[in-house]
Amino acid sequence: MIIIEEGCGSFIPTESVQEIVRKNPEVVPERYVRYEDEEGGDDLLPHLFLEIPVIDLFLLSSGDEEELKKLDMASKEWGFFQIINHDIPTEVLQEMKLTAREFFQLPLEDKMKYFKASNDVQGYGPSPIVYEQQKLDWADILILQVYPTHSRQEKYWPTILPDSTKFIEAYSKEASRVAEKLLAGFSQLLGMQIEELLKMHCEVLQAMRMNYYPTCPTPEKVIGVSPHADTGTLTLLLQEDDTIDGLQVHHLGEWVSIKPLPNALIINIGDVIEVLSNGRYKSVEHRAMTNERKERISIATFICPSEHVEIEPLASIVYEDLKQKYKKFRYGDYLNYYWTRRLDEKTPTNLGLIKIEA
Ligand SMILES: O=C(O)CCC(=O)C(=O)O
Ligand SMILES: [Fe+2]
């Protein structure tokens, strides 16, 4: 069965996009069509192919001043950057990519064993929605909470693939090591002790979202992942195939396509850093597009504070800026708000809740 039964929870069931394409690769159902004309509305096609800043993680974590400056600039001007010299073994990256690919290649009935309950965020399925008539994303996803280990919902881990747990854990451990180095860099930039930003998280919540974007006969009419900003502290993005474009970042009023360097990780700043820094650093809106030729797989790792942690702009920065630009919020409440927003809202309203208007 492809149409998932109505559950009692808050997410509304929709169909697997991969199945829609498998059954009829030529037709895009109406609910996925965002733009009727071939030009894709006013903003569909990116006009710019720019390279986002590249940061050498080895230099950054050795205390190199220039690299720290680059991190500052990238976080102010882009909210996105790539890291090289992250020291994650190539086979760990390869095995993670393979796990994601093998999972989505499973027959539907096997993937359905991991289908998310309607009141869960974790699990397999299309992008979750909470409004009946909204437009849908052209993607299927698998979300797993990885750390802390007691927060895992093991029923969603694709153990049908014998080594998947080992591979997901190996990659996640590396991702968390990389994140700690970046957090140390941000601590310095924000005028804190080197460990302070990490400590502020209490227990780091680390989740993984594997995104599968099937090919689409009319890619100019659909969106793989709707424009959004990530709610957490940092996101680390691994692309399965560096040669397939898809990620676009909103930069200087335009959508810019991001081309990852081979073996680099793409990092973006989430709302937590935007708020802590009183808006100096930006949690930038981004989206993913599809194409006609080849499906695309990406693996996002979200680094977030514990739900009970309260986030507000750092006093020292507010003092310098003479104005507090965001209200204090509890991270868990913010997360709940995020999951109940509409997918097809054009601009992220998630900060609307906490931004103090000028
Ligand atoms: O697939 C991508 O490139 C972006 C995915 C993304 O933004 C997300 O999972 O939050
Ligand atoms: Fe994202």
| Per-residue pLDDT tens digits for 187-221 | 999 999 999 999 999 999 999 999 999 999 999 89
At residue 44, the pLDDT reads 55
Question: For residue 253, what is the domain's CATH number?
Answer: 2.60.120.330
Domain-embedded: residue 54: yes
The residue segments making up the domain with residue 37 are 2-353
Whether ligand 1 lies within 6 angstroms of the CB of 209 is answered as yes
If one residue of 286, 290, 341 were mutated to test the ligand 1 pocket, choosing by the most ligand atoms within 8 A of its CB, it would be 286
For residues 1-26, give the mean pLDDT.
67
Q: 3-class DSSP state for residue 65?
A: helix
Domain-embedded: residue 94: yes
At residue 260, the pLDDT reads 86
Q: pTM of the entire structure?
A: 0.93
CA dihedral 38, 341, 78, 94 (to 10 degrees): -80
235 bridge partner residues? 268, 302
Question: Tell me: the pLDDT tens digits for 152-187?
Answer: 999 999 999 999 999 999 999 999 999 999 999 999
Residue 262 class from Cβ within 10 Å (0-12 exposed, 13-18 middle, 19+ buried)? exposed
Domain-embedded: residue 358: no
> In the chain, how many H helices and how many E strands?
10, 14
Asked whether 114 and 124 are in contact (CB, 8 A), the reply is yes
Whether ligand 1 lies within 6 angstroms of the CB of 288 is answered as yes
ipTM: 0.99
- The ligand that comes nearest to the alpha carbon of residue 242 is 1
Q: Which atom of ligand 1 is nearest to the CA of 258?
A: 3
Domain-embedded: residue 234: yes
Number of domains in the chain: 1
Domain-embedded: residue 322: yes
338 pLDDT band, cuts 50/70/90, is: confident
Share of residues in the chain with pLDDT > 90 (%): 72
Domain-embedded: residue 18: yes
Domain-embedded: residue 165: yes
- Pinpoint the alpha helices (H) of the chain: 17-23, 57-61, 65-77, 90-105, 108-111, 164-189, 196-200, 271-276, 315-321, 331-339
* Mean pLDDT score across all residues of the chain: 89
CB-proximal residues (5 Å) to ion ligand 2: 230
Q: 3-class DSSP state for residue 331?
A: helix
